[in-house]
Structure 1
Amino acid sequence: MPEALEQDYSQTQLHEVTKALSSGMFVHVRRMLAHMPPCDIALLLESSPHKSRTVLWQLVDPDLQGETLEELSEDVRNGIIAQMDPALIAAATEEMDDDDLAEVLRSLPDTVYQEVLGSMDKTDQERATFVLSYEEETAGALMSTDTITIRPDVTLDVVLRYLRLKGELPEGTDELYVVDKENKFLGDIQLATLLTKSPLLTVREVMDNESEAIPVSMGESEVAQLFERHNWISAPVVDEDSQLLGRITIDDIVDVIREEAEHSMMSMAGLDDEEDTFAPVVKSTKRRSVWLGVNLITAILAAFVAGFFESTLGILPILAVLNGIVPSMGGIAGSQTLTLVIRGMAVGHINDANQRWLIGKEIAIGMLNGVIWAVLIASVVALWQWDFTLGLVIAFAMFMNLFAAGCAGVTIPLILKKLDIDPALAGGVILTTVTDVVGIFAFLGTATYFLLP
């Protein structure tokens, strides 16, 4: 089925389920959900208000609940899990991939986690302990231990017979990993190589012994950059002694890239990247109020600076009309630089070697923009008010604020990064404060000095 038709079909299904649910046709909804893939069930849950979501989850087949939980966003999944019995949570996580299992277990309160762990059998308890032994947002937290390993001294024919006996391969398998007797990673062999080379050759003769393995402690952002750079489908994960621990597949990396993009976008507005669109009103209000409070403080600070020049504004009312132009232009220019730098940091383009050059470049851009727009605004104001001095005043303020915006836009995220503070979350607030204060002070301060008698 073509992708466009498949998407339309999924949307039609979702619409029918929603309509049946609102009509109270619960048995019909249960049957429909039983024939829907987990990804569509997850989309339906995320697209439903809180009360409808609770009812829908109760109608999902228990055999599909584990896979559905894997597809849900963190905020929605946590809300559903909070209403589940620990035994049901344990049952739903049985077939989960290791990385998804770790994410679910980490979201549980300690008391619930202990109950869920107690409801698991010994094998699942050991797996849960293992996946939680690695820090969040590292290769260890992303990897799956479901791998196929082979020895270098066997022939390809032996490997093929071994795979036929297994009957199936782990999902996303594009290569087999070669290890020695101590389970040390030696290299890999592509499935294409295995199928096209002579079955009499040994693994050692055809394997890639220069393939790159991912350290288990590497950050997930760096892992994603490696996948992007090398066009990997999967990659092995090793410890400090080169022991093979597991593998990371491209589907997990797609999730990382998507989450990082959402995080940057949502953080600019002070929102959690996993914010539930249909979360209860009070819960959403609490989350957004924090950001609104921070912005109110910055606005009060800007107003406080403007208050120093209250007498100036009273004598020259035109300054109140023009006062918003300079901070606004500085804010836009600074946001352009801030966004560019945050993106460069996210994709790994910015490092210690090129930071000084980048700072110099953005300062130069700020100065050039300052000259261009200072001349333009000075001409407009001078002709509008027939006041050449007023034009020069706003030109100077515009130049200073665009220069400050360029400096702040490039240095703020770099400084925040060194302080281990998320630049996407805090950078915009600090930048707005800088451009507002500098813009108001430069304009009204210069006007007070040159225009008042």
Structure 2
Amino acid sequence: MSETEYKSDYVQLLNQALESGSLYQVRQMIKTLPAAGIAHLLESSPPKARSVLWQLLDKGAEGEVIQYLNEDLQGVFLSEYDAAEVAELAIGLEPDDLADILQQLPQQVAAEVLQAMDEQDRQRVETVLSHDEDTAGGLMNTDTITVRKGHTVELVLRYLRRHDEIPEMTDNIHVVNRQDMFLGILPLRELLVSDPVTLVMDVMRTDIEAIPVSMPAEQVAQLFEQNDWVSAPVVDENGKLVGRITIDDVVDVIRDSTEHSLMSMAGLDEEDDTFAPVMKTARRRAVWLGVNLVAAALAALVIYAFQDVVDQLVYLAVLMPIVANMGGVAGTQTLTLVIRSIALGHISPSNSAWLVIRELNVAMLNGLVWAVGMGLIAMFWYGDLLLALIAGAAMMFNIVSAALAGAWLPLFLRRVNLDPALAGSVVLHTFTDSIGFFAVLVLAQVFYL
């Protein structure tokens, strides 16, 4: 049984227990789940079941669970707590996770939560909150272990033994000077196998470049992927060590980026709650539907402008959607490829022109093939050679135009600081529909009537 099937069966069993009122059984089942599993269960349950499940959680588990929930659901549960309760719930959370949670609260409540925390924890969280959440500073954890390069391995080991525990996912110890300037890393594997009298400077690595605190989160994820890092140091603009980023936070960035690209094409938010109230969901989707209505109306204006042509050649109404749809598909293929390449960092000013030319060549080849196919279909349906040539030429023109738009549009949107995944799809489909209709109608007016 796959993990997905297992989770699905577990959700079904728990919901059946809830419906039957077997709350003791539900509580016992919840206790067997890790925090991430409980969060998945909450996200997979309808609102009424969620409320019951949350009340059945042990008080000490609430903080662990809430950090794994999507932002919408975090907001729902946190709204039921006052500042003191949120501060208690936050005990034991990493500063970066707590910062994410505080950003879901009203500013005044978040400030009260910070005031309720002890000074050291408050300073750590405030350090993370001072940076944009989509940068390395917003991802980092300020809990780090540092040593000096003049220390011996034996001294470092004694220093580590004084800690009750070391931060999670610690694979390296950071080496700094007296001003906390980052100098390099001491891998734990080197520490464990080195002679006790060996100096840190003799086994440390200095070829590791620290991540600037202002680096965008997606670039951080690319570096982790390229270098197979488990963790990486973060430095400020002066080279001072301010924290570290671990792979679990990078996995969240990659997942969020993937969900964002997928959901944005439909005008949805990656944090949308699957079981959110109907009115709330309807309001969110209404805006995007309105945008698409305007876009469709703009495309329809092309047909309106050539109403006389459509009246005289009614069967053009059959051919136009085919031409427009094929252009939309071709454009979407190119658009998706370019958006993916942008996300992976494969596109730069030096190669973007080459990519556009390549996509045009691909479109011309496919356009020629499917122009012939479109012409044969029109010939088979209507037995009119001229009409078949018009349909084929319109198909060729629209596919090439769509590919050009699909390649150029995301590059342009990125340059003007707009999200290509969000705006690209609706603009592209409006363009391909309009061009497809226009090509068929103009060619028919010029050569047929």
TM-score, scaled relative to structure 2: 0.96
Q: Is the 8 A contact 1:48 1:278 kept in 2?
A: yes
Instruction: Specify the alignment match of 1:109 in structure 2.
Output: 106
Instruction: Specify the alignment match of 2:389 in structure 1.
Output: 392
CA distance in 1, matches of 2:123, 2:183: 27
Q: Is the 8 A contact 2:231 2:247 kept in 1?
A: yes
Q: Is the 8 A contact 2:11 2:44 kept in 1?
A: no
Query: Which secondary structure does the structure 2 equivalent of 1:304 belong to?
Result: helix
Instruction: Specify the alignment match of 2:370 in structure 1.
Output: 373
Q: Is the 8 A contact 1:214 1:236 kept in 2?
A: yes
CA distance in 2, matches of 1:198, 1:23: 63
1:26-425 paired onto structure 2 within 5 Å: 26-425=23-422
CA distance in 1, matches of 2:350, 2:292: 34
Amino acid at match of 1:368: L
Displacement after TM superposition at 1:232 (Å) = 0.4
Q: Is the 8 A contact 1:33 1:61 kept in 2?
A: no
Q: Is the 8 A contact 1:143 1:237 kept in 2?
A: yes
Displacement after TM superposition at 1:5 (Å) = 7.7
CA distance in 1, matches of 2:16, 2:402: 51
Q: Which whole-Å deviations, capped at 9, do the CAs of 1:258-291 have from their partners, x for residues lacking one?
A: 1100100111111101111111111111111111
Q: Which whole-Å deviations, capped at 9, do the CAs of 1:396-431 have from their partners, x for residues lacking one?
A: 211111111011001110111011110000000000
Query: Mean alpha-carbon deviation: is it higher for 412-421 or for 129-138?
Result: 129-138
Displacement after TM superposition at 1:9 (Å) = 6.0
Q: Is the 8 A contact 2:124 2:142 kept in 1?
A: no
CA distance in 2, matches of 1:11, 1:393: 53
CA distance in 2, matches of 1:12, 1:378: 52
Q: Note closer, same or farther for the CA distance 1:357–1:7 as it changes in structure 2 (3 Å cut).
A: closer
Query: Which secondary structure does the structure 2 equivalent of 1:314 belong to?
Result: helix
Q: Is the 8 A contact 2:190 2:203 kept in 1?
A: yes
Query: Which secondary structure does the structure 1 equivalent of 2:214 belong to?
Result: coil
Query: Mean alpha-carbon deviation: is it higher for 342-351 or for 94-103?
Result: 94-103
Displacement after TM superposition at 1:6 (Å) = 7.1
Q: Is the 8 A contact 1:94 1:124 kept in 2?
A: no
Query: Which secondary structure does the structure 1 equivalent of 2:184 belong to?
Result: strand
Q: Is the 8 A contact 2:43 2:273 kept in 1?
A: yes
Amino acid at match of 1:225: Q
Q: Is the 8 A contact 1:268 1:424 kept in 2?
A: yes
Q: Note closer, same or farther for the CA distance 1:353–1:5 as it changes in structure 2 (3 Å cut).
A: closer
Q: Is the 8 A contact 2:96 2:125 kept in 1?
A: no
Q: Which whole-Å deviations, capped at 9, do the CAs of 1:203-253 have from their partners, x for residues lacking one?
A: 101111121110111110010000000010100001111111111000110
Q: For structure 2, list consecutive stretches of 5 or more residues without a partner in the other structure.
A: none
Displacement after TM superposition at 1:115 (Å) = 3.4
Q: Note closer, same or farther for the CA distance 1:184–1:123 as it changes in structure 2 (3 Å cut).
A: closer
2:440 is the alignment partner of 1:443: yes
Q: Note closer, same or farther for the CA distance 1:10–1:291 as it changes in structure 2 (3 Å cut).
A: closer
Q: Is the 8 A contact 2:371 2:396 kept in 1?
A: yes
Q: For structure 1, list consecutive stretches of 5 or more residues without a partner in the other structure.
A: none
Q: Is the 8 A contact 2:261 2:421 kept in 1?
A: yes
CA distance in 1, matches of 2:28, 2:315: 69
CA distance in 1, matches of 2:99, 2:126: 9
Q: Is the 8 A contact 1:144 1:247 kept in 2?
A: yes
TM-score, scaled relative to structure 1: 0.95
Q: Is the 8 A contact 1:66 1:96 kept in 2?
A: yes
Q: Note closer, same or farther for the CA distance 1:425–1:395 as it changes in structure 2 (3 Å cut).
A: same
CA distance in 2, matches of 1:122, 1:333: 57
Q: Is the 8 A contact 2:82 2:109 kept in 1?
A: no
1:16 to 13, 16, 26: 13
Amino acid at match of 1:218: M
Q: Note closer, same or farther for the CA distance 1:16–1:372 as it changes in structure 2 (3 Å cut).
A: closer
Count residues with an aligned counterpart.
Answer: 449
CA distance in 2, matches of 1:96, 1:203: 31
Query: Which secondary structure does the structure 1 equivalent of 2:243 belong to?
Result: strand
Amino acid at match of 1:116: V
C-alpha root-mean-square deviation of aligned residues, in Å? 1.7
Amino acid at match of 2:317: A
Query: Which secondary structure does the structure 2 equivalent of 1:99 belong to?
Result: helix
